[in-house]
């Protein structure tokens, strides 16, 4: 399946501009034809060395090479401890995630703990970070997360799936949750955003597992209490693809999902 994104699009454009076929480009760069093909369809993340080899064959300008290498580095395996995030500032991690999102054409998010970041309201974000950050850092982090949401206006496809328990966790109080759930319904009506809910009444025969976000089929981002990990190893990414295939049949979409959100919001309104 083709996953159009800046990295694969640029590699494909450079090859076409050079007048080379995929097979000839692979031969000259010392790579397999399948690697070149999968790099251009977004299903394979080339190494920096492979990027350089292809760009040399294509006669790409230095600026294009630097941009491609930067994209590759943003999508490379990495684990960042919570301590490092706190030292650098929570806003730094938000900007890091924003770069991952900008490099993808299809973003699939699954959460069992909090409302998905791209769909969060400002009061919900502020309640979520609580006292973990200094006031200055919290303000910058909230602003950075809200800035990420501008990506929803792009042609990218967003699949956002949460368990009903996420909505039932009273983050920040009833007023915050009512505003958050109303916002969720509005965002679900965007043409490029699909919001799915797994009702607590749906029988499941697979563990809920940990939250994750998948960028095309090339990278998965995981967050835990102590660290944030970016996974690009093909076998590991494939495991999350398989896990999603197990979860998807449990998901209610569209009007069914919005009905669940409205029902939970009505419960919160009784607390106001």
Q: What percent of the chain has pLDDT over 70?
A: 86
**Residue 178 neighbours by CB under 8 Å, 6+ apart:** 265, 268, 269, 272
The boundaries of the domain holding residue 165 are 78-269
Q: What is the pLDDT of residue 93?
A: 57
pLDDT over 60 at 88, yes or no: no
The count of structural domains within the chain is 2
In angstroms, the CA 11 to CA 31 distance is 14
pLDDT over 60 at 270, yes or no: yes
Whether 66 and 84 map to the same domain: the answer is no
Chosen domain end from 74, 92, 109: 74
What tens digit of pLDDT does each residue of 116-136 get?
999 999 999 999 987 767 777
The CATH number for 209's domain is 3.30.870.10
Residue 24 covered by a domain: yes
At residue 76 the predicted structure's pLDDT band, cuts being 50, 70 and 90, is low
Q: Which two tokens stand for residue 102?
A: 């900008």
Whether 59 and 108 map to the same domain: the answer is no
Q: What percent of the chain has pLDDT over 90?
A: 46
Whether 137 and 242 map to the same domain: the answer is yes
């Amino acid at each position: 399946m083709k996953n159009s994104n800046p990295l694969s699009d640029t590699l494909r454009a450079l090859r076409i501009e050079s007048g080379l076929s995929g097979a000839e480009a692979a031969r000259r760069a010392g790579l397999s034809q399948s690697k070149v093909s999968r790099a251009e369809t977004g299903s394979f993340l080339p190494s920096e060395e492979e990027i350089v080899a292809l760009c040399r064959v294509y006669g790409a300008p230095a600026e294009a090479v630097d941009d491609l290498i930067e994209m590759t580095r943003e999508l490379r395996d990495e684990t960042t401890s919570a301590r490092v995030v706190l030292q650098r500032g929570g806003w730094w991690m938000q900007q890091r995630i924003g770069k991952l999102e900008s490099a993808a054409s299809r973003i699939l998010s699954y959460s069992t703990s909090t409302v998905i970041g791209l769909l969060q309201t400002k009061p919900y974000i502020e309640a979520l970070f609580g006292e973990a950050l200094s006031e200055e850092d919290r303000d910058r982090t909230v602003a950075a997360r809200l800035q990420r949401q501008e990506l929803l206006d792009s042609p990218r496809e967003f699949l956002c799936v949460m368990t009903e328990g996420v909505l039932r966790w009273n983050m920040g109080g009833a007023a915050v949750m009512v505003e958050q759930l109303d916002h969720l319904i509005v965002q679900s009506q965007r043409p490029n955003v699909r919001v799915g809910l797994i009702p607590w009444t749906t029988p499941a025969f697979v563990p809920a597992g940990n939250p994750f976000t998948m960028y095309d089929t090339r990278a998965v981002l995981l967050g835990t209490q102590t660290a944030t990990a970016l996974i690009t190893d093909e076998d590991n990414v494939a495991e999350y693809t398989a896990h999603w295939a197990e979860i998807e049949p449990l998901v209610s979409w569209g009007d069914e999902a919005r009905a669940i959100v409205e029902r939970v919001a009505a419960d919160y309104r009784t607390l106001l």
